[in-house]
Structure formats: structure tokens, C-alpha cells
Amino acid sequence: MGQSQSTDREVTLHDIQELYRKFASECPSGNLHLHEFKKIFGVTSRSSEEESAYMENVFRSFDTNKDGKIDFMEYVAALHLVLRGKLEDKLKWSFKVYDRDGNGCLDRKEVKHIVKIIAHIKKHNHPCFTGNIDDICDRIFELVDKNNDSQISLEEFIEGAEKDPWVMEQLKLDIGPCDWFIGQQEKNS
């Protein structure tokens, strides 16, 4: 999710112009397609099915007009959220990514799915990572589902993630866009 990430570096007009130049050179059609988006975050044909599915969910969350591509304005809005957004805004975005059926609540199946993806990616990036998916999912519901209706509302999600560092850690996936953006700027300098 990248909630804890933020950069103290200001994004200047020059940075945005450089970003547009890079966007235009890598996406001459003026749109960023799913395969290009996955490439930015290092998801390749050799990546796991979980990583690929997660990035597809992230892509859909940034594709605000639902046309199957990200234009420059959607791209800038996404970067702003990830680089400079407030924790609550990032949590709302994460909830939207996780709420696969779009009903405004996370059920056990959705939570288990995202915990499985995050655990797989964490294990890939940190081989010593261990955790039982069912146990993690059960504990998240114990800590976050305040009204015990077997669903997590947006409010419960935000409150639970903000109040409990363990919940935040379980629901967080740092996909590294800050590092990628800054790296792109350094390459262009």
C-alpha cells in the first residue's frame, strides 16, 4: 500500500515536465496500458499470479474513467496520492483496491485474497517472512471488525489500520513508487 512511504523532496514544475516527457516517450499513444504499468513496478511474465493480480487491481484503481488505460492526468493523480497523499487517503485507496466486488465492504474472501498476495510478495522480497494466511486473516477480523458482522467497512478498515501497527503491517504493500519516481528523476538529471 505504501502508506508509510513519503518523500520530503518537493515535486517541482520541472519534475512534472520531465515526468511528462518520460511518459510521452514511453507511452507515445498518450496512455499507459496495463503491461506498461506492470513493467514500471517490475511485474514480469516470471512474476507470480498473485503479484500480477495485485498490480491489475492497482491499475484499475488508478484508471478512474475505467477506459482500460491511464492517461497522463490519471498518472499524475496516482503519483500524487502515492508520493504525497495523506495516510487516510492512501487507506481509502487501498480499501478500494481490496474491495474487488465494489460493494463497500471487505469480506473474509477479499481479505484472505489480499493477505495471500501481500504475504507472497513479502516472502518473495524477504525470504525469512513467515505467516499463516488464515491466522492473519482471523486476527485482522478480530481486531478490525468492530460490529462482528464478518465484513470490514471502510470506517473499520481506516480505524483498524491507524490504531494497530500490526494490522497496518499486514495490510501494507510497499510497491516502491517513491523509489521508482525518484530514480527516474535521477536518471533524467
Can you give the CATH number for the domain in which 51 is found?
A: 1.10.238.10
Domain count, the chain: 1
Digit-coded pLDDT (tens) for 85-139 = 788 888 888 888 888 888 999 999 999 988 887 777 667 666 676 778 899 899 9
Is 137 part of any domain? yes
C-alpha cell at 154: 471502510
Digit-coded pLDDT (tens) for 5-53 = 444 556 677 877 887 888 888 788 889 999 888 887 777 888 778 778 7
Is 49 part of any domain? yes
Classify the phi-psi angles of 150: left when phi > 0, otherwise alpha if psi is within -120 to 50, otherwise beta. left
User: CA 96 to CA 103: how far, in whole Å?
Assistant: 10
User: Side chain identity at 35, as an amino acid letter?
Assistant: H
DSSP letter at 31 equals E
**How long a stretch of residues is the chain?**
189
Distances in Å between the Cα of 41 and the Cα atoms of 59, 88, 110, 112, 181 are 11, 23, 23, 23, 11
Q: What percent of the chain has pLDDT over 90?
A: 23
Cα of 121 vs its chain's centroid, Å: 12
Domain limits for position 20: 13-188
Is 7 part of any domain? no
C-alpha cell at 160: 483498524
Cα of 81 vs its chain's centroid, Å: 10
Is 72 part of any domain? yes
